[in-house]
Every structure is written in C-alpha cells, then in structure tokens.
Amino acid sequence: MGLAVVAVLFAQLLFSNSFAAVTVADFGKSAQQLKEKEAKLAKQREAAFTTELRKQEQLARDALARRNTAEARGNALNSAYDRNIDRIAEVTQLLRQHEGNLGELFGVTRQIAGDAANVLQQSMLTVQYPAEKGQDDRAQFLVKMAAVKALPSIVELERMWFELQREMTENGKVVRFKAPVLQIDGTSVEMEVVRVGPFTAVSDGNYLAYIPSKKSLALLERQLSGSLVSVAEALQAPTEGNDYREAIVDPSRGALLTRYVERPNPIERIQNGEVVGYVIVFVGILGVILAIFQYFYLFVTRSAVNSQLGDLDNPKTGNPLGRVILAFRGDGKIVENSELAELRLSEAVLREIPKIERFQAFLRLAVAAGPLLGLIGTVIGMIITFHAIVASGSSDPRMMAHGIGQAMIATVLGLGIAIPLLFINSGLAALSGAITQILDEQSESLLAADIIERRRAA
C-alpha cells in the first residue's frame, strides 16, 4: 500500500507544473495522511465483519434451538400417535364386543337401503315428493345410507323407514297433483297430473313418462291412440264420490308403455319395407279393388239369373241366362238340326264365361306373386344386414336391426296379401262356378227339350 502512495506522489510530481515548489516535507505529510486514512478504513471493515459474524452466530444458535424444539415436538407427536393407534384398536375391539346384534342390523339396513334406492330412482313419486331444502332427495339419501360405513343414527333410520312406508302406501293410490312437465320442445310447463300409483301418469289426455336423470315427468314423443286416449281423458275428468274408472297400468313403471308407443304403425311398417313393400301393397290393393268390383257384379248377375230362372219363357238381355236362351232361339225360327243348336248354345255360354270369371286369373297371379315379392324384400334386407356387418366390423344387433326389419316386413307383407286374396279368389270362383253351372244346366235342358221336340215332330 505504501508503494502505491509513493507512486501516486511521484506521478503527481512528474505531471505538475509546480514540481519545483513541492518540498520533501510536503511529500512526507501527504504520505502520512494517506496512511492514517487507510488505517481508519481497515478498522471500519474489521468492525463490520465482527458485527456480521456475531449476527450469523446468533442465527445459528436460534436455528439449532428451533430444530431441537421441533425434534422434541415430533417425538412427542409420534408417541401420541402410537398411543392413539393402540387406543383406537382397543376401542374398535370394544365396539365390536358391544355391537352384538347391531352389526347384523347395520348390514341389513345397508342392503335394504341399496335395494330401495334402485326402486326410488325409477319411481315417479319423486316428482310429487321432492327433497326439502338442504336435504338430499329420497334416492340420494338411500344411496348414501347403503354406502356409509358407520352405524346410522336414529334420525336416519326413521327417515329410511318413512320413505319406504310412503313408497308402499302411495303404490295403491290414485292422486291428482300439479307438477312441472317437460314438453316435446324441451320447455317445462306446470300441469295437473293424475298418477296411478307409481305405474302411470296422465295430463290433458296425454300419457307421461318419468325421466330419472332429470327427476321430472315428460310427455311421450308419441301418444297412444284410439280408446287408450279416451281412457286417459276419462281418468283425468273430475270425480264424484268413489266411482270406478278404467286406467292403463304399466307394471314395469313406464318401460312397457314407452315400448308400446315406439312400435311403428302400419304406414311406417310399409315404409320400412321400402320399394318392395310399396309394390306388394299396390298389388294387394289392386287385387282387392278388382275383387270387390267382381263380387258386386257376380251378386247382381246371380240375382238376375235367379230371377230369369223363374220366367224362362220371357228371356231378357240383362242377364247371362237370358242371353243364352235368346242366342239358342235366335230369330224364333226352328234350328235345322241338333248339332247346330248345340254349337249355338256352346257359343253363347262361352261368350258369357269371360265376364263371369274375369279378374280371377290376376288374383291367382297375385296370390302366387305375393310370397315371391316378399322373398325379394327378404333377400334385399339380408344384403343390407351383411353390408352393415362388413361396414361396422361387428355383429352389433342395433346395426343389423334395419336390414332384418326390412326382410321380415317384406315377408309379412307378401303373405299378408297372398292369404286374403286366396280366400277372396276362392269366393269369386265359387260364385262364378255357380252361375256357370246354371248356364250349363239350362243349356243342356234347352238342348234336350229341342231334341225331344224334334223326335216328336218326326
């Protein structure tokens, strides 16, 4: 440090204009001042270092004290934990000894709560009896009762008994109350509801379904029809006294009713059959229309023929028998020979038969073609099913339902037109055969009378 001071002084002497005025005494005085200043700085640094050292030593002593305190507390807590574990084991053993039959009762309670929770989750009584503010609803309460691992309290046992008792008693009641009902568009409207036990609910003549996920009643997307709607309307009408009325009861609590309304109607079944179904129905309807027309014609013709049988001497052109007689008699002159008379009668009868037996050939064709058309629809449905299996890579029944449904519907439609048309055609054949039989009998009678008359004349 002294050399540095000397060097500084020497530099000042070299570069100062007053170098000649500086004396040796001034140089020594400056060196002494710098030395004192350096000593003062050294003492200040030493004092700061000493203060910091004492501070760090104090912090070390404080940390050591805290560690010792924490270690002592940890040892105490470990000892207390071990004592508590032993105490818990003793108390648990004592609890098992004192439980006695209560343990079995607890198991039965849990089992009953679990079974009842499944029933109450699907029960529409939840709509009429919602949970009070701050409490779980009936199903949630029983679910917690079934999952709890501690003995239930008296209050919990009383509520469980009350919910079970209420569910049983309400099963046999028909109740009218107001509740929010979900509409088809998703909105909720408060409506008057008539409930038949937990099985069926109606409102404004419409049947309702219970949706457990929303805990609400909802209108069925498709309603029942016919007399079932009248039953719902009559059930909701005001009552006078203890009168009895019809009601639709679904023992499955809505599942069967939902399945029933989801069944396709006849038009939808035909639509499921697609093109083949339309062809089959068209053939069947056409056959029925032609058969009705021909039945009407045959009944009128049979009546006219029967009327003509009572007056053979005055033949009329409005019936086949009259026309046959007129064709035999011709212009009123005697026929030259019996062979010509027979040919004339045969010609007249053959002329009437096409009208009498018309449409029967088409009906026979429809009877034969109906099952064949149904078979075509069946094959198409199976092809659709196989394509669904290939596309999905699995045999999921829901993927195959459309194709199988189309196959079965086409088969049913084919048989559905073939069997009725078979009976209809048999009736037409019987009627036309009876009329033809009369014409043949009367033709033979006319021919026989002509032959007898010719022999007498000869």
Q: Identify the H or E element spanning 253.
A: none
Question: In whole numbers, what is the pLDDT of the chain averaged over residues?
Answer: 80
Parallel, antiparallel or unpaired: strands 200-203 and 174-182 = unpaired
In this prediction, what percent of the chain has a pLDDT beyond 70?
84
Predicted local confidence at residue 422, as pLDDT: 92
The pLDDT tens digits for 23-74 are 666 777 777 888 888 888 888 888 888 888 889 988 998 899 899 999 999 9
Residue 17 has pLDDT above 80, yes or no: no
Residue 307 has pLDDT above 70, yes or no: yes
Residue 292 has pLDDT above 90, yes or no: yes
| Phi-psi sector, 241: left (phi>0), alpha (psi -120 to 50), beta | left
Predicted local confidence at residue 5, as pLDDT: 45
Parallel, antiparallel or unpaired: strands 174-182 and 206-211 = unpaired
Predicted local confidence at residue 234, as pLDDT: 77
- 379 CB-near residues (< 8 Å, 6+ apart): 407
Predicted local confidence at residue 398, as pLDDT: 64
Residue in this structure with the two tokens 């719902």, named with its chain if needed: 232
Predicted local confidence at residue 102, as pLDDT: 66
In this prediction, what percent of the chain has a pLDDT beyond 90?
9
333 within 8 A of 397, measured Cβ to Cβ: no
212 within 8 A of 162, measured Cβ to Cβ: no
Mean pLDDT of 81-105: 80
Task: Give the lowest-confidence range in 7-11, 53-57, 195-199, 372-376.
Answer: 7-11
Residue 346 has pLDDT above 90, yes or no: no
Predicted local confidence at residue 34, as pLDDT: 82
Predicted local confidence at residue 95, as pLDDT: 74
pLDDT band at 21 (very low <50, low <70, confident <90, very high): very low
- State whether residue 138 is helix, strand or coil: helix
Predicted local confidence at residue 288, as pLDDT: 92
| CA-based end-to-end distance of the chain | 187
Residue 144 has pLDDT above 60, yes or no: yes
List Cα–Cα distances, 367 to 157, 269, 274, 277, 297, in angstroms.
71, 21, 21, 15, 22
pLDDT band at 18 (very low <50, low <70, confident <90, very high): very low
pLDDT band at 1 (very low <50, low <70, confident <90, very high): very low
- State whether residue 228 is helix, strand or coil: helix
Mean pLDDT of 188-209: 85
Mean pLDDT of 155-178: 87
Task: Give the lowest-confidence range in 2-6, 89-93, 448-452.
Answer: 2-6
252 vs 258: CA distance, rounded Å:
10
Predicted local confidence at residue 374, as pLDDT: 83
Nearest to 359 by CA among 289, 453, 442, 274: 289
Predicted local confidence at residue 390, as pLDDT: 74
DSSP H helix total and E strand total for the chain:
14, 5
